[in-house]
Structure 1
Amino acid sequence: MTLMIFFVMLIMESATEKLCPLRTSIDVLEGEYFFLCYPESRQGHFQEEAYAINWYKESAGKQQLIKETRRIVLQRNFLEFWPAELSDSGNYSVIHSNGKQNFTIQKWTLNVLERNKSSCFNENHLTTENKSAGTGLSLKCSDLSVYENNSITWYKDCKNYEHEKERELNFRALTVQNSGIYTCKILISHEGTIYHSTNTIKLLVEEDEPETVTLEIVGHHEEIETEIGKEEILNCTGFLGYYMQEDANLYWLINQMFPEQCTGIPENEPSICEEELKKLQLGNKFYITRLLRIKKVRDEDMHHNFTCMLQADDSTQTRIVKLKKGKTQDLHVHIFATGMVLALLFPFVAVAVVLVFVIFKVDFVLFYRNICRRDDTAGDGKEYDAFVSYLKDCASPIEEEREFALKILPMMLEENFGYKLCIFERDVFPGGAVVDDIHSLIDKSRRLIIILSQNYVSDRAIYELESGLHKALVERKTEIILIEFMPISDYNFLPESLSLLPSKRVVKWKKDKSLPVNSRFWKSLRYLMPAKPIKIQTKGHYNNLDLGSEAAQPWTEGCDFNATV
Structure 2
Amino acid sequence: MVMMPWMIFLLFTTAEMRNKYITERYEINIFPPFQSTTVFVHDGEHARLRCQLCNESSPIDMNDLQTHGFTISWFKGNSKSGVVELLDNGTRIAAQWPLLGFWPASVKDTGRYFCSVFNGTHNISGPNVSLYVIPISEGCYSKETEYTRNGCIGSSTRLVCPHMEEFKDNAKDLKWYKNCQEEVATGLSLEFHSLGKENAGHYTCVLSIEHNGRQYNVTRTLELTLTEPYIEPKLIYPHQEHIEVTLGERRVINCTALAGHKSKQDVRLTWEFQQRKITSCKPEASVCKDPRRETIRNDGVYVERPLVFPKVKEEHLNQHFNCVLHTSVNKMIGSIFLQEKGKSAVPPSVGLLFSAIVVLFILACVCAYFKVQIALCFRDLTGRDETCGDNKEYDAYVLLLKNDDTLLNTHEEQEFAFKLLPAILEEKFGYRLCIFERDVVPGVASAESIIFYINKCRRLIIILSKEYVDDHFSSTYELMTGLHQVLVERKIKPILIQLKPINNTKSLPESLQLLLKSKGTVKWGEGKHSYFWKKLRYLMPAKSRQVHTGNQ
Say which structure, 1 or 2, has more relative contact order (CA 8 Å, 6+ apart).
1
Q: Which has the larger radius of gyration?
A: 2
Decide: shared fold, TM above 0.5.
no
TM-score scaled by length of structure 2: 0.35
